[in-house]
A and B are shown apart, each in its own frame.
Chain A
Amino acid sequence: MSLPQEYCKRATMKRSQLVLVGNGMAGVRTLEELLKLAPDLYDITVFGAEPHPNYNRILLSPVLAGEQTLEHIVLNDWAWYQEHGITLHAGCTVTEVNRARRTVHALGADGQTINAPYDRLILATGSKPFMLPIPGNDLDGVLAYRDIADTQAMIAASAQYRHAVVIGGGLLGLEAANGLMKRGMQVSVVHAGEWLMERQLDLVAGQMLQKALQERGMQFLMSAQTQALLGNADGRVQAVRFKDGSEVPADLVVMAVGIRPNTALAESMRLHVNRGIVVNDTLQTTTDARIYAVGECAAHRGTAYGLVAPLFEQGKVLANHLAEFGIGRYLGSQTSTKLKVTGIDLFSAGDFMGGAGTEEILLSDPGSGTYKKLVLKDDKLVGACLYGNTVDGSWYFKLLREGRSVSDLRDRLVFGESNIGEGGHAGQDKATSMPDDAEVCGCNGVTKGAICKAIREKGLFTLDEVRKHTKASASCGSCTGLVEQILMATVGGDYSATPRTKPVCACTDHGHQAVRDAIRTHKLLSKEEVFAFMEWKTPNGCPSCRPAINYYLLSTWPKEALDDPQSRAVNERSHANIQKDGTYSVVPRMWGGETNAAELRRIADVVDKYRIPTVKVTGGQRIDLLGVKKEDLQGVWNDIGMPCGHAYGKSLRTVKTCVGSEWCRFGTQDSTQMGRNLEHALWRMVAPHKVKLAVSGCPRNCAESGIKDVGVIGVDSGWEIYVAGNGGTKTEVAQFFTKVKTAEEVLEVSGAFLQLYREEGWYLERTVHYVARVGLDYVKAKVLEDHANRKALWARLQAALEGEPDPWFDGEKARVDARQFVPIAVA
């Protein structure tokens, strides 16, 4: 028990001093992450220029519009700082940092100076609004829109004055204009561009937005160049003058023309600044190793991010580094824009403007307020702009990020995920109109109310956090768009961002492909070798990576790499399916779904002998015995005396068949024999996920070959082979692969296809996902067009399966740990 000792040692050591400059969302999130990892490592001091605790800046708009109050948007109240022993100087502006002496100097609201020494310093100074350099920009009544003080000044002005002008037709400007309008002011939006939000929307969507806002009473001055702000005798703004000489009255002017990273302090400290404070992958400044920058003020690989998700990702990495774990790296984020402007859903990502060398798919229905534009280049989705209905935004963003060919979905792409059969559950596309008790996630039974509650009570911000806490959208993922909409409506923005390569799990930054490649290239033969070679961050992995690595080792180096039962989930370790009460189900193999009197008698005897409570016929044409105690498993297997059905594994399950030409008056081929042959050839085959086959004897397709990983249909002249179907969470119709003449060819093509999947598929990727990732054309090239390769694949599969043991009867060779079946009895 070494943990408590180390803990005590630490507590008695003198703690390091950590100072955070900037009490905003990115900085405080970093502290939260740090406190989770190492609660006692630092004495923490925070300086914040605003006299408030950390609040959600994005929710200033609803506060301005009168929909929420300031108390509602506080993220960490005063008590939070106290509870964690953090010294907070709110309302204190940091005036100087002496890097030589490692001290921070600040000026309090009351004129007092405060000094704080640091061992490590975090700069999280955020952004500053950009003020147009025009005459009159310092008049009373001219504001930016950035913080609580600005918001309060706007609310105060709206009670007293009538005419407001907002300069800037971007998101922030429109939110300000909407809020002021709701507070009874007459609002004009001045925009220098041709259309609104030109960085997020194309011309059509921008104009649709303008029209919708005009209908609500907002006025617009487009392509207008502001020349000066004119004041009255009291020094308060009274009008805006444009370059063409025209003027509009204005008692309040809000400038929302953009933000710049706030780097003044960093520059005075002589830190390297280039479009932000330049940091490396651990958020350390490149100038001073004791100083870090995080959030909107930091420039990582040339980019200063403004969305919350990348900033939180940065905070997590920085916290890891500060906690002296030193294993996290921030590699940048790809972001999409998903916004709600005054109740209108907008989405854009990538190169949504299109241009030379690109093609566009458009769907426009101005009457219903819907517009979709997809930009394609070389058959790949490179950009998307959605107006009105954004539920498919995350799906388009996924396609865009994966950069996969969309040639096969092109004709249906614009109608969205739910219309091409990938959507899983049909359902709602507008989260706001759903009642609280409506189910959002059908897989995990999560209602909208439960999601909203978790977001509010647990302070969630990202899609990942919502998934972790509620399990919503964590299974089939088809409700991801809805969950994002709920997040957006509840916390005021969309926070889904994705690292460039999805790591296998939190134990590593490497993705599945990198792990597969390393195992093959460097001939790694055990999980320990993989962990060492790929610098795993955890000593022995986790339940996500260990089974994946075990599979990659076995499938890459059959007969050389040894199976590690402790890296397998319970079912594959006990060779039975665990049930909710901790008992197991046993499914013996019935070749091609055929059985006989002797087998049925033995099964019946076993059911009596072991008092098995439920006997059920499965969808895969065999018999399931449910409620077997773990102690009885070996006895049941032996007494039944039938081969293991592998109904529990990421492996070949069944080959479903119809009765075929032996009996059926319509049958054209002997599908049962074909099925038995396939099952004999492929059983004991492990794979990235479960594998199901079917063989039908005629096109009536009674064995349902259209929804199997490999589906075979007998026709007069031979056999048609379909691949990559799926009958599970998301029903997927199998795609036609080829037609062959003989049963031998069916075996060879099916086997070669499955071996390619075994060698290249990522763990937990079904054939449908594998084929979608690499493209059917690629698979055809490898299996159908390249005859030598097909034979080689088929030969490799046969070699891998040769002599593989049946885990029920040859447990020693199958490395089944027999001790698990017997509980230890206490004397």
Chain B
Amino acid sequence: MTQWTYICKLEDIPVLGARRVARAQGLEVAVFRTATHEVFALLDRCPHKGGPLSQGIVFGQSVACPLHNWTIGLCDGQAQAPDEGCAPRFQVRLEDGAVYLDADELAHHALHETRPLAGPILRAAVP
């Protein structure tokens, strides 16, 4: 039996936009809202170079990654051909204008993905 965790109201997500959902562990989950008020959720990480998908432009049932403009399908997390890769999906429930995510997935799904590093921290890594 799926346990649904309340996230926010539908209006809290901009139309053709997204919000980030912080988790106790792991990277954030991006929840997207399309023009027809469907809601989708993916791990907030592009399969290409780890860009935060929540910051991309939402169009149709896709989002364009803000870093290199890969197009990611919101239904399945798949990168649009010719690019290859997949962002982990999260189940969403939309009921009476409220958005819910699966509590189990929030706690355990895709915990090991990380953001790419940037800045002086790289200097230590590459002597």
Contact = CB atoms under 8 A, between A and B. Distances in A.
Nearest to A538: B60
Contacts of A532: none
A1 B6 contact: no
Contacts of B28: 823
B57 A566 contact: yes
A468 B118 CA distance: 27
B113 interface: no
29 contacts: A1-B38, A469-B82, A539-B36, A540-B16, A541-B59, A542-B60, A542-B64, A543-B64, A546-B57, A566-B14, A566-B15, A566-B58, A567-B16, A567-B57, A569-B57, A569-B66, A578-B55, A578-B66, A579-B119, A580-B118, A626-B119, A817-B14, A817-B17, A819-B19, A824-B7, A824-B22, A826-B5, A826-B7, A826-B21
A131 B113 CA distance: 66
A226 interface: no
Given A543-B59, A581-B117, A824 B69 contact: no
A290 B57 CA distance: 40
The 4 closest A-B pairs by CB, nearest first: A581-B118, A570-B66, A543-B64, A823-B22
A827 B5 contact: yes
Contact of B20 (A547, A566, A817, A824): A824
A582 B56 contact: no
A103 to B, nearest CB: 36
A538 B23 CA distance: 35
B47 to A, nearest CB: 14
B120 interface: yes
Given A573-B55, A582-B51, 10 more contacts: A458-B82, A540-B59, A543-B71, A570-B55, A574-B55, A578-B55, A578-B67, A580-B49, A580-B67, A582-B50
Given A582-B52, A826-B106, A613 B120 contact: yes
A424 interface: no
B44 to A, nearest CB: 8
Interface string A501-541: 00000000000000000000000000000000000001111
Contacts of A827: 5-6
B115 A582 contact: yes
Interface string B1-45: 000011110001011110111111000100100011010000000
Contacts of B67: 578, 580
A825 interface: yes
Contact of A825 (B22, B51, B82): B22
B121 interface: yes
A586 to B, nearest CB: 14
Contacts of B97: none
Most chain-B CB neighbours within 10 Å: which of A539, A547, A570, A826?
Answer: A826
A331 to B, nearest CB: 24
Interface in B38-92: 38, 49-52, 55-61, 64, 66-67, 69, 71, 75, 82
A342 interface: no
A614 B51 CA distance: 20
A583 interface: yes
A825 B22 CA distance: 5
Contacts of A573: 55
Contacts of B36: 539
A3 interface: yes
Nearest to A547: B57
B116 interface: yes
Contacts of B35: 539-540
A1 B13 CA distance: 18
A468 B84 CA distance: 13
B75 A3 contact: yes
Interface in A632-689: none
A126 interface: no
A72 B45 CA distance: 40
Secondary structure type dominating chain B contacts: loop
A614 B52 CA distance: 21
Contacts of B23: 826
Given A569-B66, A578-B67, A826-B5, A627 B58 contact: no
Interface residues of B, number: 47
Nearest to B15: A566
Interface in A569-623: 569-570, 573-574, 578-583, 613-614
Contacts of A627: 118-119
Contact of A538 (B59, B82, B101, B119): B59
Nearest to B66: A570
Contact of B120 (A541, A542, A614): A614
Given A3-B75, A826-B106, A583 B19 contact: no
Contact of A824 (B19, B49, B82): B19
A583 B116 CA distance: 11
A11 to B, nearest CB: 18
Contacts of B15: 566
Contacts of A574: 55
Contacts of A817: 14, 17
A609 B67 CA distance: 27
A625 B32 CA distance: 30
B40 to A, nearest CB: 9
Nearest to B31: A824
A579 B118 contact: yes
A43 to B, nearest CB: 25
Contacts of A580: 49, 51, 67, 116, 118
Most chain-A CB neighbours within 10 Å: which of B5, B57, B120?
Answer: B57
Contact of B119 (A541, A567, A581): A581
Contacts of B31: 824
Interface string A542-576: 11001100000000000000000111111001100
A825 B20 CA distance: 9
Contacts of B12: 819, 824
B111 to A, nearest CB: 14
B73 to A, nearest CB: 10
A378 B6 CA distance: 69
A539 B35 CA distance: 8
B5 to A, nearest CB: 6
A613 B6 contact: no
A565 B16 CA distance: 10
A417 to B, nearest CB: 26
Contacts of B17: 566, 817
A823 B119 contact: no
Nearest to B56: A570
A618 B108 CA distance: 43
A569 to B, nearest CB: 6
Contacts of B6: 827
Contacts of A540: 16, 35, 59-60
Contacts of B101: 826
Contact of A543 (B19, B57, B117): B57
Nearest to B58: A566
Contact of B21 (A546, A578, A614, A823): A823
Contacts of B55: 570, 573-574, 578, 582, 820
Nearest to B45: A582
A469 B10 CA distance: 37
Given A538-B59, A539-B60, A581 B22 contact: no
Interface string A176-207: 00000000000000000000000000000000
Interface in A186-233: none
Most chain-A CB neighbours within 10 Å: which of B6, B17, B71, B119?
Answer: B119
A3 B62 CA distance: 14
A130 to B, nearest CB: 39
Most chain-B CB neighbours within 10 Å: which of A565, A613, A820?
Answer: A820
B116 A581 contact: yes
Contact of A546 (B8, B59, B61): B59
Nearest to B61: A3
B119 A614 contact: yes
A826 B119 contact: no
A1 B75 contact: yes
Interface string A765-800: 000000000000000000000000000000000000
